[in-house]
Structures are given as C-alpha cells and as structure tokens.
Amino acid sequence: MSDTKERKLTIARAMAESVAQYMRKDEKVFVMGEDIGVLGGVYGNTRGLIEEFGEERIRDTPISETAFMGAAVGAAQNGMRPIVELMFVDFFGVCFDQIYNNMAKNIYFSGGNVKVPMVLMTSTGGGYSDGGQHSQCVYGTFAHLPGMKVVAPSNAYDAKGLMNAAIREDSPVVYMYHKGLQGMGWLGTERGATVNTPEEYYEVEIGKASVVREGTDVSIVSLGMGVHHALKAAAELEESGVSAEVVDLRSLVPLDRDTIRASVAKTGRLIVVDEDYHSFGVSGEVIASVVEHDISVLKAAPQRVAFPDVPIPYAKIMEQFCLPNADKIVATYKKMAA
C-alpha cells in the first residue's frame, strides 16, 4: 500500500507549501514582489498565501525592483526574514546595485555585525517564445559574484527542501527556479519535475549535488531543466549500451566540486548541460573544477551543451534550435566516444 503515501507536488506547489509552513512558525518571514498576492505569482509559487496571511505579510509591490529589493535588504538587516521575488531574472538589470552591492556584501562590509537573511526567488529559462529579455538563465552572473548562495532545483522535492534551507539561512540566497518546471502548462510541461514531496519539514542542504542516475561511461552534469534533458539522453544512450551518470548540481554556490570530481573519476568523460550562455558560465566552471584537480582521469576532452552566445530568439524554431536538448547531448557523447 505504499502508493497511499504518494504525494506528488508541482514545483510551484512545493515552493508555496514551504513558504506557508515557514510563515506559520516564524512571524519574521514575509513575501514581497510583483503579482505575488492576489494573483498567486505568475508562476503559481505564492498561490494561497495572501488568503492565509493577508496583505501585511504577502505584499504586492509596484513595478520598481530597486525599491523593493532595497526594502528587503533593509528589512533583513533589521531582523526580518524577507522572501522577495524578482519576477523574471532578466529584470536584474534595474536592481542589481541593491543585489550585489548591498544584499551580497553588507555582511562582509559590516565585519559580520549585520546579517542579511533574505531569499531572492526568481524565474529562469525559456522555451515558450517569450523573447530575449524574458527567457534567460544568467546562472553564471549570480554565481560569479561573491556573497550570495545560489540554488536551482529541478524537482518539487528539492524545491521544497532548498526553500526551507534558504529561508533558515542567515546570508542571502538566490533561489532560481525554471519556468518550464513549474507545472504551469503554457510555460512547458515536464513530468519529471512533479514528484513525491513530504508534507513535514525537511531541508535539502545548500551546496550538495545529487547523483540522480548512476552510470559508468559518461558524467552528464546539469541543473534545472537541463537535468531532465540529461535524464532523457541517458535513457536514449542506454539503448545503445552506454551507461550515463547524471549529476544534478542543485546548488551553484557553494558548488559541490567533490561530487562532480568523483563522478568524472569514475566515468572519465564529462558533458555539462547548461541553458545559460555557453561562454564564461557554469559549464566552464564545472569543467575547470575537474581539469584543475586531475586531468589523468579524463578519457576525452570535456564538452558542453549550452545556449549559444546570442540573444535568445523569439521565433519558436530559432529558440528551439538554440536550446539544449536530449538529442544534442546524445550527439555530443557520440562525438566524444568516436
């Protein structure tokens, strides 16, 4: 009767459940952002919160990211635990001074006398023709700058556990969720993201990757939507007798370099899948983690399947041409192994 315990949630529901449960036990936690109140969030991740907690703790803001991001930093430094939503990560441009000069650095600037316990949750990714200023991931941009922890869940279980860990964390955490994994239909459908999720409190440790599929011939390392591409590629490779391991990074900062290195030490081959731009990003950092450590484990030069260094096209056929997918991963492996 194990199926009676089944409790599948979409990532959107898992995020909302984590926030609601935390808010019930800690009155310092509140949520701020655009359309996170009555609408329940464009991506469904704050549904039901305003009905339970009211407008004082679930605060719809004007379209002024600098103002509410700065307000969140100030509230955090004064004892609150704000969760603030940047609706599309692409909008970071208008509020980046508050994010990386204040949120990220004030603990350091104050010599540790000030804490900044806030969660900046923000949507990433494309695939549904929303154009080049609503479809980016920019994981590398946030992970590059010191002072912020960065997480990116690929399924509902991790989404809830990472959100709990992020709210409890005394330093700022950037929580980057992929729109196509939210279970929102018009943004894409990915069944693999809707998984069993316990109702009780638990945390997924920030900074720990997860080996979501074990294998011996190649390590496919990814995050967010890329994990699902990787799993589909691994299933396809298995049909031709290739055993692929899939590593879900889950956190970018801190990066779990040990798990990446252990996987590649076992398989000898590394493919990094990243929906962020190809150059100067997460994919390069993952590869560097391995080659700086020990190149003797490698049987082939590491490869990346990432978004080309171009603005994201609006036209569906052109966007899909650019995005990582399972076929590209399989083709990359075949070239490596040739």
Q: Does 4 engage in binding with other proteins (CB under 8 A)?
A: yes
Query: What is the Cβ-side half-sphere exposure of residue 153, based on CA atoms within 13 angstroms?
Result: 32
Cβ proximity to other proteins: between 41 and 281 the closer is 41
Q: Does 25 engage in binding with other proteins (CB under 8 A)?
A: no
> x/- site string to other proteins, residues 186 to 205, per CB under 8 A?
x--x-x--x-----------
Residue 38: C-alpha distances to residues 34, 53, 92 (Å): 10, 12, 23
Contacts of 82 (CB under 8 A, 6+ apart): 29, 30, 31, 32, 72, 75, 76, 118, 119
Smallest gap from Cβ 196 to other proteins, in A, equals 9
Q: Does 184 engage in binding with other proteins (CB under 8 A)?
A: yes
Cβ proximity to other proteins: between 25 and 191 the closer is 191
Only one residue has tokens 């701020």, namely 32
**DSSP-derived 3-state class of residue 329:** helix
Q: Does 18 engage in binding with other proteins (CB under 8 A)?
A: no
**DSSP-derived 3-state class of residue 141:** helix
Smallest gap from Cβ 317 to other proteins, in A, equals 20
Q: Which of 17, 34, 65, 190 is catalytic?
A: 65
Residue 112 corresponds to which amino acid?
Answer: G
Part in contact with other proteins (CB under 8 A); list of ranges 26-34, 168-176, 180-188, 311-319: 180-188
DSSP 205: P
Tell me if residue 55 is catalytic: no
DSSP 188: B
Part in contact with other proteins (CB under 8 A); list of ranges 7-15, 129-137, 212-220, 253-261: 7-15
Q: What is the dihedral of CA 166, 57, 185, 238, to 10 degrees?
A: 10
Which residue in 127, 140, 183, 313 binds other proteins (CB under 8 A)? 183
Answer for the pair 13, 156: CB distance below 8 angstroms, yes or no: yes
- 162-179 CB burial, b ≥16 within 10 A, e <16: bbbbbbbbebbbbbbbbb
Q: Does 44 engage in binding with other proteins (CB under 8 A)?
A: yes
Part in contact with other proteins (CB under 8 A); list of ranges 2-10, 17-25, 116-124, 203-211: 2-10
Q: Does 180 engage in binding with other proteins (CB under 8 A)?
A: no
The interaxial angle of helices 156-168 and 11-25, nearest 10 deg, is 30
Tell me if residue 134 is catalytic: yes
> x/- site string to other proteins, residues 134 to 163, per CB under 8 A?
------------------------------
Part in contact with other proteins (CB under 8 A); list of ranges 125-133, 140-148, 179-187, 239-247: 179-187
Catalytic residues, by residue number, are 65, 134
Interacting residues with other proteins (CB under 8 A): 1, 3-4, 6, 8-10, 44, 47, 183-186, 189, 191, 194
